[in-house]
Amino acid sequence: MDSFFKQVRKTENEARRWKYAAWTLPFIALVILLFVNMIGWDTLYQKLIIVVVVAFFSVSIFWWWWALDRICHVIQQLHNTEKRLTEVKSEIVKTRDSLKDL
């Protein structure tokens, strides 16, 4: 059970970092592109556009795999919970039957 709570805390921390990155990185990229465009460095601007697009694409792919991994962990925990609840139910039924026999 302790490992479950560690996993929950880990997921919360990772989700917080993804959220922070989703809020800040696009604005930073836009400010840099705007600055380079205002200065007039056209070749650098064009290269930065490519770098920003590739970076956003890469981050979206990593985020997607991270999200799928978290979903798999949740499904695994739900399956474990179902098995344990089924076990508890069968024990309750056995106990009830034992009490009826008394």
CA triplet 21, 22, 25: central angle to 5 degrees?
Answer: 60
pLDDT of 1 reads: 60
CA distance 64 to 81: 26
pLDDT band at 42 (very low <50, low <70, confident <90, very high): confident
Instruction: Find, among 92, 77, 90, 88, the residue nearest to 4 by Cα.
Output: 77
Cβ neighbors of 73 (< 8 A, separation 6 or more) are: 7, 11
Q: How far lies 95's CA from each of 53, 84, 88, in Å?
A: 63, 16, 10
Determine the structural domain holding residue 43 and report its residue range: 2-101
At 52, list the tokens.
Answer: 């920003």
**Considering the entire predicted model, what is its pTM?**
0.64
18-27 pLDDT per residue, tens = 888 888 888 8
pLDDT of 19 reads: 87
Contact between 22 and 30 (Cβ < 8 Å): no
Contact between 98 and 36 (Cβ < 8 Å): no
State the total domains in the chain.
1
46-94 pLDDT per residue, tens = 888 898 899 989 999 998 999 999 898 889 888 989 999 999 999 999 9
